[in-house]
Amino acid sequence: MTERAVLKGAAREVGAGAGARIEDVITTASRSGAAKNAWCREPGVHPAELYKWRANCTAAPAEPEEARGSSQATHPDRKCIKEVQRDLLRKYRALAGLCSRKIVG
């Protein structure tokens, strides 16, 4: 086992290997099944893990805008948030007014 393979396997074990996983998916993408299995044995990765990483990479949205949603879809949400904020501010002011009258009166 090479030093690089040992380090890559250690990075995966502690959970700090997201970049390494993507690199591994890219490295093994063009390999045949036997070559992929041989590569997996070197760092001690199960082929099922490699397939899972590939599925996770391809399932991620291609553009950040896709993850956020369209502005038309978020407009009602923003409108609702503004309404709740106005209502909360109105209640806060009413409560502050009551408190100030209690202290003065």
Count of CA atoms in the C-beta half-sphere (13 A) of 42? 15
Compute the mean pLDDT over every residue in the chain, rounded to the nearest whole number: 76
Q: pTM of this prediction?
A: 0.42
**Model pLDDT, residue 66:** 59
In this prediction, the residues of the chain whose per-residue pLDDT falls under 50 are 1, 3-7, 10-16
Q: Is 96 helix (H, G, I), strand (E, B) or coil?
A: helix
Can you read off the two tokens belonging to residue 30? 């063009």
Taking only the tens place, the pLDDT of each residue in 7-33 is: 455 444 434 477 777 788 888 888 888
Distance of CA 91 to the CA centre of its chain: 36
Number of Cβ within a 10 Å radius of residue 6: 13
